[in-house]
Structure 1
Amino acid sequence: MATVPCASGNSCQVDGYHPPLISGLPDDIALLCLARIPRRYHNILRCVSKRWKSLLANEEFQSCRQKHYLQESWVYAICRDNNGRTSYYVFDPNSTRRCWTCLQGVPPQCLKREGMSFETTGTKLFVLGGCSWHEDATDDVYFYDASTNAWGKATSMPTARCYFLSAVLGNKLYVANGAGMSSTPWQTWEMYDSHSDFWTKSQDRLPTDIQKLIPMNGKVHTIHELSLNVFHRGMLGPPLGDDGDGVAPNFSLCCHSPTVLVGRDLYMLDQSSGAKLMLWQQGTQEWTTVGRLSPWLVKPPCQLTAYGRTIVIVGKGLSTTAIDVDRAARVQGMTVSSYSLPELDPNLSVISCKTITL
């Protein structure tokens, strides 16, 4: 119960009273003001008051930034060093001083395990499963919430997994196959709803030769490998599975190459002979070359992520380059980068990179 001034000039006690977000301003106007503050200052805003901290984690704040085209995308990279230790980095592409910084407060379990999967949905980066020399496969699910700048633990997977496949379609996160606590590989898949924090387990069995999941056109494509370097077509499922509705065999060339969706277009980074950005052509059912990347800018092996119409390529040591796909489509030959970051630590290998927009 709080004491506030009354019209009579006396003090009145009001249940559930909240002080204004900004003194002298209605909360709706204060919200518009705070929503315009760049994301790099949000950690400072959280320190001002408990109400500001709560506001920044509120969907109303995120919706306001989205409505007024104020959202910003940050890039997150998960790396492993030569000693097998995992680390998490982030950088702000909108800053004039772009540089990778280490994420703090990571749960110890997310630092020492191998075979984990990483996905983002909404404002959260999920770290799923994994195992170690001293620990069998786990069903743990941890997350970093960019809207609160804090780590938490979500509902565990129905099945303990390591070295498994994952993909995100809408607000649903899919995990498939991988290894468990026995030598027999899993042939199952499960779906996680990030809004309800609830897992659904499928009874359908999957082939053991699935190498990759690609969410595209409202379905999750499964990319298969029959034997070493011999592929068959990517299959479509409802949304996961082998229902015989396939695409061209050429699609499976992305089996061991990083891919990323930009709008409805699928891009692949071919690293077999230098680094070459490729685009999947739905009409002709083939991969076409967008352009080659300078070996001075990107150091394979690389991972891909994207925000807006920009693809971010993160290579060994966190060497980073960004490609505007519309600009790249107009220039033939060597692809010109929008910006690049030099190698940070040669001992780091990037195992995944993602973006979170808020």
Structure 2
Amino acid sequence: MQRVRISSQHSPVYKLGDPQLSLSPKFRVAALKSPFLDPSSELELAMNGQPLIPGLLDDVALNCLMRLPVKSHAACRAVCKRWHFLLGSKERFFTRRKELGFHDPWLFVFVFHKCTGKIQWLVLDLNHFSWHTIPAMPCKDKVCPHGFRCVSIPKEGTLFVCGGVVSDVDCPLDVVLKYDMYRNRWTVMNQMITARSFFASGVIDGMIYVAGGNSTNLYELDSAEVLDPIKGYWRPVASMGTNMASYDTAVLDGKLLVTEGWLWPFFVSPRGQVYDPITNKWDSMAVGLREGWTGSSVVVYGHLFVVSEHERMKLKVYDVDSDSWETVEGPPLPEQICKPFSVNCCDSKIYVVGRDLHVAVGQIVKVDLKCHVEKKLRFAVQWHVVDAPKAFSDLTPSSSQKLVVFALSAHAGGISVDFQVKPQLLGLDHNL
């Protein structure tokens, strides 16, 4: 990312997602209400005499089938008509899982092919460590993921992809795409007020905040705005007070933390801003916090952790009281995980997805140290690596988002930008 510190100028930008643009989606959208939830469904009534699994009550059998990994659905649908009916629709399958109270985490990984530049979303089942796909985003194959920011709303089971850049014309994007897990489809949302790339993004109390970033010709922005996902509209919030792009972002204690990030060599100390939505004000980030923030972050146990991207350092955690970073006990990130990588977390585990989509899983544990003067909380980590299929050897991660498959549940940061792609313009249509 190039550092540019000059005032923002509002040059013309390309507004994408306008109604006059056309799109032929690569996936079909279900038009009918799921009959699985309708007890009067003729198909379901016709199969009532056929057990789901011979020798088991249907309630028990259904509980078993709901645990099948998605990658097995295609084969399992051939077992019988009821299995085909149950597993033939993701909408039906996930709705029933929600009813039964299943709570299984998935990691959604935004990747691109290093040779063709084609982008796609792959999904890692964190229970079975198996991969599957979701429908392609409504855009052309050669769209550069440079500068996209991705967030999710855990309780709603929705994933949002915002902004981006078309590098051929140095054109920032104002587009917002939404993926609905239960409908298994993408829709085009209302555009951001300002087109931007390499910006900060995060979710606070169900609201999506974006701030800063690059405008046309790499002019840096100081504006910020917020999206109400339910009402579907954006409104401006307080400006950052300084023009800056974002290297990484985190939400901690209900505030949005934005770091400009270190650039090698370390000639200039990075800047950082903190936004409080309650007061609608920005403050400068503490010196120790911004100067030690040298990688991609996650929040675990209410603490900010960073996986460094400049050298193979150990995981470190920020201590608010001393405004300093402390090394987490345990080994460094495994050598199999190569940059660029994206970082996310689920409960007390950190997931680092590296090049070729090898995944390092770090289990974070608390270590209580009882000193004579004070009791201080420390952390330790233990890593293990999940190797990716050989078919992923040419894929590179750009972002990763966590969704939980029943009330569904992504960290806003962790987007690595190391692309060598010749992109084309997005082609979007509101009539999905």
TM-score (norm: length of structure 2): 0.64
Counterpart selection for 2:163 from 110, 126, 129: 129
Larger strand fraction of residues? 1
Q: 1:233 to 1:155 in 2, by over 3 A?
A: closer
Quick check: 2:200–2:249 contact (8 Å CA) kept in 1? yes
Displacement, 1:268? 0.6
Compute the RMSD of aligned alpha carbons.
Answer: 4.0
Q: 1:357 to 1:167 in 2, by over 3 A?
A: same
Residues 122-271 of structure 1 mapped to structure 2, 5 A cutoff: 122=154, 123-132=157-166, 133=168, 136-181=171-216, 184-202=219-237, 204-209=239-244, 211=246, 212-224=248-260, 228-232=267-271, 234-238=273-277, 243-244=282-283, 248-253=286-291, 255-271=293-309
Q: 1:104 to 1:17 in 2, by over 3 A?
A: closer
Percent identity of the aligned residues? 17
Q: 1:264 to 1:336 in 2, by over 3 A?
A: closer
* 2:397 partner letter: V
Quick check: 1:168–1:215 contact (8 Å CA) kept in 2? yes
Q: Which residue of 2 aligns with 1:48?
A: 85
> Runs of 5+ in structure 1 lacking a partner?
1-15
* 1:273 partner letter: E
Q: Distance in 2 between matches of 1:53 and 1:346?
A: 28
Q: 1:182 to 1:239 in 2, by over 3 A?
A: farther
1:104 aligns with 2:135: yes
Displacement, 1:224? 4.7
- Offset from partner CA, 1:252-278 (integer Å, 9 cap, x none): 135441001124121110233314211
Q: 1:172 to 1:293 in 2, by over 3 A?
A: same
- More displaced 10-residue stretch of structure 1: 173-182 or 333-342: 333-342
Q: 1:217 to 1:19 in 2, by over 3 A?
A: same
Quick check: 1:127–1:141 contact (8 Å CA) kept in 2? yes
Q: Distance in 1 between matches of 2:337 and 2:109?
A: 15
Q: Which residue of 2 aligns with 1:304?
A: 343
* 2:386 partner letter: S
Displacement, 1:279? 1.6
1:285 aligns with 2:323: yes
Displacement, 1:318? 1.0
Q: 1:348 to 1:275 in 2, by over 3 A?
A: farther
Displacement, 1:197? 2.1
Q: Which residue of 1 aligns with 2:382?
A: 336
Quick check: 1:39–1:72 contact (8 Å CA) kept in 2? no
Residues 48-87 of structure 1 mapped to structure 2, 5 A cutoff: 48=85, 64-65=99-100, 68=101, 70-80=102-112, 81-87=114-120
Q: Which residue of 2 aligns with 1:91?
A: 124
1:324 aligns with 2:363: yes
Q: Which residue of 1 aligns with 2:397?
A: 350
* 1:125 partner letter: L
Q: Which has the higher contact order (CA 8 A, sep 6+)?
A: 2
Q: 1:348 to 1:297 in 2, by over 3 A?
A: same
* 1:124 partner letter: T
- More displaced 10-residue stretch of structure 1: 280-289 or 292-301: 292-301
Q: Distance in 2 between matches of 1:160 and 1:83?
A: 26
TM-score (norm: length of structure 1): 0.75
Quick check: 1:275–1:295 contact (8 Å CA) kept in 2? no
Q: Distance in 2 between matches of 1:343 and 1:53?
A: 24
> Runs of 5+ in structure 2 lacking a partner?
1-37, 49-57, 78-82, 370-377, 406-432
Displacement, 1:306? 0.9
